[in-house]
Amino acid sequence: MDLSDKIEKLLTRVSKPASYMGGELYSVLKEPEDVELHFGFCFPDLYEIGMSYLGMQIIYHVLNEQPWIWCQRLFAPGTDMEALMRSEGVPLFTIENKQPAREMDILGFTLQYELSFTNIINMLDLAGIPVLAKDRDDTMPVIAAGGNCSFSPEPLADVFDFFMLGDGEDVLIEVSEAVREYKRELSGMQEPADTADGLRPKERLLRKLAGIDGVYVPSLYEPQYAENGCMTGHRKLWDGAPDRVVKRFVMDMDTVSYPLRPIVPFTDTVHDRSVIELFRGCTRGCRFCQAGMICRPVRERSPEIIKEYSYNSLKNTGYDEMSLLSLSTSDYSRIEPLVRDLMQGCRAMDVGLSLPSLRLDSFSEEILKEIMGVRKTGLTFAPEAGTQRLRDIINKSITEEHIYTAAEKAIRLGYSNIKLYFMIGLPGETDEDLDGIAEIARQITAINREVSEKKGRFNVTVSVSNFVPKAQTPFQWAAQDTPEEFNRKHLYLKDRLKMKNVSYQYHGTETSFLEAVFARGDRRVGRALIRAWELGCRFDGWTEHFDYSKWLQAFRETGVDPDFYAHRGRAEDEYLPWDLIDCGVSKEYMLKEKHRSEEGLQTRDCRKGCTGCGIKRYQECPVYEQGANYS
């Protein structure tokens, strides 16, 4: 019985069969014999999560544009499907052609969040592929990773053959070419360029990959540790390995390939709509934000291209909703005319336009009314901290005045749902900052009582997450609060927020703790990860699957002390496990930002003048070039 028959037999018995069947509009089929390289794009979470991720659509498109590459998709199966796959002997398979993952030449995982790491291990195991890179021979696919978590790669360094850093569009093709050559060499179609080097083909491949900009091959380095357990450096195992790996940049957003025929899933996914990326990067410099650091510099798409893409993408997909994507929509340089044009276009096509992370102060009253008219999402603000003092420390430029004026505007326009995002456990936080959170919520309800003409329902939701210090940020040296401290703060807040029309949401502290361990881990924490998976952990980001006791057991059994990673402040001169990785923003700059934060000083949004983040060591910075227009 062939694999697709076997799979079919399972589908009548699982809860979401369509997640495994493929066949969606614009999914790509090719003749296996016609392509030279089989690329398996792996998303280590459920189908409906992965399919909402624009990065997947971009990579799928960029790879499949090449006639010699066939990129197919693989997702983490749901637990019901996994149980059946294991009992019936069905290996992890591609959605498109129902091919075993092992038949791929490259399996490329996207690392979006730490809590998906056990799913990676699980997917490799389901594929029948040894989890550790050192146990895989030439018959196995090459296992690669990209995405945000690659900027702190050490926890997974023993698993992956290589990591790709930064924008994927170009580097993916370059690594695919290298793997194609490796395959030819393996099949004897091609003599290796230099046979005198005495290397196995896989070794030769890894060295070649290490020579590609933006590629980190962990097996070419050996981590060094001091007596006290801190890391002291990476020792090169091959002289040719680069001293530092600098991320890749795609600079021209107008010419880079974009999926105008994205796969349209049949089932309801998390974000079931057409998505147009406005720009990459962010100039604000919030000190806790990893994306804000690792995605620099800001690179915008021109309004003409955005409008053209919007129209084509809607026409091709038939979606009745469109969303704009970036780290901060309002910061797009020509946002007002763009939004006006898009709203007009969407109205003509009977499409709802959603504008996430929009700051109201950047709009005139007139367009605001229009926006409010079509917006489907509620109004949200992210002050992140409860007092101006703490907002200065974290470099969040929003002021209470901003919030109150915008909230007033919104309430006058008939809004009755306001959501506020905060973080607790930030460096320098005191209970007064928690009081500040409650105060902001109280003020907004007061504004509502004052200005609202409607008597009806009004709600302020205060959503509080736990600060996780991230690598490659000015807070990378900080200690995380203990779960006990987080819980105390949550109770404190819960008490203070017992107000009419205010509801309080908060995140589990145990998962935040785990995140902190893996966000700044070294290679040793990988052992605990694998042990936790052996004990049955997967889908750790899903409350119904998360099992903290198993994690504690895994740490215990592998001798990994999670507190060492989560709760220990790092010395400024300590070698950090990710120091080998250069995200474009320099370590000196982050240190400078750390010091400014300690002095309670804000650093300006660099559109108002360059603040010297270090990008210009590698690239012309478009923000810097335009600087004169702003300052």
| Partner from other proteins, ligand SF4, none contacting 624, C-beta within 5 to 8 A by type | ligand SF4
Looking at the Cβ atoms of 280 and 409, the one nearer to ligand SF4 is: 280
Query: What residues numbered 584-623 form the site for ligand SF4, per CB under 6 A?
Result: 606, 610-613, 615-616, 621, 623
| Partner from other proteins, ligand SF4, none contacting 11, C-beta within 5 to 8 A by type | other proteins
Q: Minimum Å distance from CB 462 to ligand SF4?
A: 32
Among 89, 188, 198, 318, the residue binding other proteins under the rule CB under 8 A is 318
- β partners of residue 459: 417
The SS3 call for residue 275 is strand
Q: Which residue is nearest to ligand SF4 (CB)?
A: 606
Looking at the Cβ atoms of 13 and 244, the one nearer to other proteins is: 13
Looking at the Cβ atoms of 133 and 615, the one nearer to ligand SF4 is: 615
Name 484's Cβ contacts closer than 8 Å, sequence gap at least 6. none
Looking at the Cβ atoms of 250 and 264, the one nearer to other proteins is: 264
- Return the structure tokens found at 144: 């690669």
Looking at the Cβ atoms of 348 and 628, the one nearer to ligand SF4 is: 628
Instruction: Determine, following the binding rule CB under 8 A, whether residue 352 of this chain makes contact with other proteins.
Output: no
Instruction: Determine, following the binding rule CB under 8 A, whether residue 574 of this chain makes contact with other proteins.
Output: no
| Partner from other proteins, ligand SF4, none contacting 21, C-beta within 5 to 8 A by type | other proteins
Spatial CA neighbour of 77 closest among 93, 88, 89, 55: 93
User: 505 and 461 in contact (C-beta within 8 Å)?
Assistant: yes
Instruction: Determine, following the binding rule CB under 8 A, whether residue 316 of this chain makes contact with other proteins.
Output: yes
The SS3 call for residue 456 is coil
Please give the size of the binding site for ligand SF4, defined by CB under 6 A: 13
Residues 278 and 357: their CA atoms lie apart, in Å, by: 12
Spatial CA neighbour of 545 closest among 122, 246, 84, 58: 122
Q: Minimum Å distance from CB 29 to other proteins?
A: 8
Residue 585: CB atoms within 10 A of its CB come to 25
Among 2, 34, 268, 366, the residue binding other proteins under the rule CB under 8 A is 268
| Partner from ligand SF4, other proteins, none contacting 532, C-beta within 5 to 8 A by type | none
Residues 252 and 301: their CA atoms lie apart, in Å, by: 8
| Partner from ligand SF4, other proteins, none contacting 317, C-beta within 5 to 8 A by type | other proteins
Whole-number Cα distances in Å, 164 to 90, 132, 247? 30, 18, 8
Instruction: Determine, following the binding rule CB under 8 A, whether residue 10 of this chain makes contact with other proteins.
Output: yes
Q: At 162, phi and psi to the nearest 5?
A: -160, 160
Residues 228 and 208: their CA atoms lie apart, in Å, by: 35
Q: Minimum Å distance from CB 330 to ligand SF4?
A: 17
Among 244, 266, 414, 494, the residue binding other proteins under the rule CB under 8 A is 266
Binding mask 54-73 for ligand SF4 (x = CB under 6 A): --------------------
Q: Minimum Å distance from CB 609 to ligand SF4?
A: 8
Among 180, 234, 296, 489, the residue binding ligand SF4 under the rule CB under 6 A is 296
Instruction: Determine, following the binding rule CB under 8 A, whether residue 267 of this chain makes contact with other proteins.
Output: yes
Alpha-helical runs (H) found in 413-508: 431-451, 483-496
Name 494's Cβ contacts closer than 8 Å, sequence gap at least 6. 504, 506
Residues 411 and 124: their CA atoms lie apart, in Å, by: 51
Q: 299-300 and 279-280: which strand pairing?
A: antiparallel
Burial 128-137 (b: 16+ CB within 10 A, else e): ebebebeebe
The SS3 call for residue 239 is coil
Residues 400 and 614: their CA atoms lie apart, in Å, by: 31
446-452 long-range contacts, Cβ below 8 Å, gap at least 24?
447/404, 447/407, 447/408, 447/411, 448/411, 448/501, 451/408, 451/411, 451/412, 452/411, 452/412, 452/416
Looking at the Cβ atoms of 8 and 574, the one nearer to other proteins is: 8
Binding mask 319-338 for other proteins (x = CB under 8 A): xx------------------
Q: Minimum Å distance from CB 148 to ligand SF4?
A: 18
Stretch of 113-121, 316-324, 387-395, 546-554 lying at the interface with other proteins (CB under 8 A):
316-324
Q: Minimum Å distance from CB 610 to ligand SF4?
A: 3
Query: What residues numbered 14-43 form the site for other proteins, per CB under 8 A?
Result: 17-18, 21-25
Residues 493 and 438: their CA atoms lie apart, in Å, by: 7
Among 94, 112, 283, 323, the residue binding ligand SF4 under the rule CB under 6 A is 283
User: 40 and 141 in contact (C-beta within 8 Å)?
Assistant: yes
Among 47, 53, 555, 624, the residue binding ligand SF4 under the rule CB under 6 A is 624
Residues 461 and 378: their CA atoms lie apart, in Å, by: 11
Name 518's Cβ contacts closer than 8 Å, sequence gap at least 6. 114, 117, 149, 155, 525, 529
Looking at the Cβ atoms of 23 and 536, the one nearer to other proteins is: 23
Count CA atoms within 13 Å of residue 334 on its CB side: 13
| Partner from other proteins, ligand SF4, none contacting 183, C-beta within 5 to 8 A by type | none
Among 297, 383, 427, 526, the residue binding ligand SF4 under the rule CB under 6 A is 297
Residue 433's identity, in one-letter code, is D
Among 3, 83, 173, 264, the residue binding other proteins under the rule CB under 8 A is 264
Binding mask 210-249 for other proteins (x = CB under 8 A): ----------------------------------------
| Partner from ligand SF4, other proteins, none contacting 186, C-beta within 5 to 8 A by type | none
Q: Minimum Å distance from CB 377 to other proteins?
A: 18
The SS3 call for residue 435 is helix
Please give the size of the binding site for other proteins, defined by CB under 8 A: 24
User: 52 and 269 in contact (C-beta within 8 Å)?
Assistant: yes
573 secondary structure, DSSP code: T
Looking at the Cβ atoms of 507 and 607, the one nearer to ligand SF4 is: 607
Instruction: Determine, following the binding rule CB under 8 A, whether residue 630 of this chain makes contact with other proteins.
Output: no
Looking at the Cβ atoms of 263 and 437, the one nearer to other proteins is: 263
| Partner from other proteins, ligand SF4, none contacting 244, C-beta within 5 to 8 A by type | none
Binding site for ligand SF4 (CB under 6 A): 283, 296-297, 606, 610-613, 615-616, 621, 623-624
Binding site for other proteins (CB under 8 A): 5, 8-13, 17-18, 21-25, 264, 266-268, 315-320
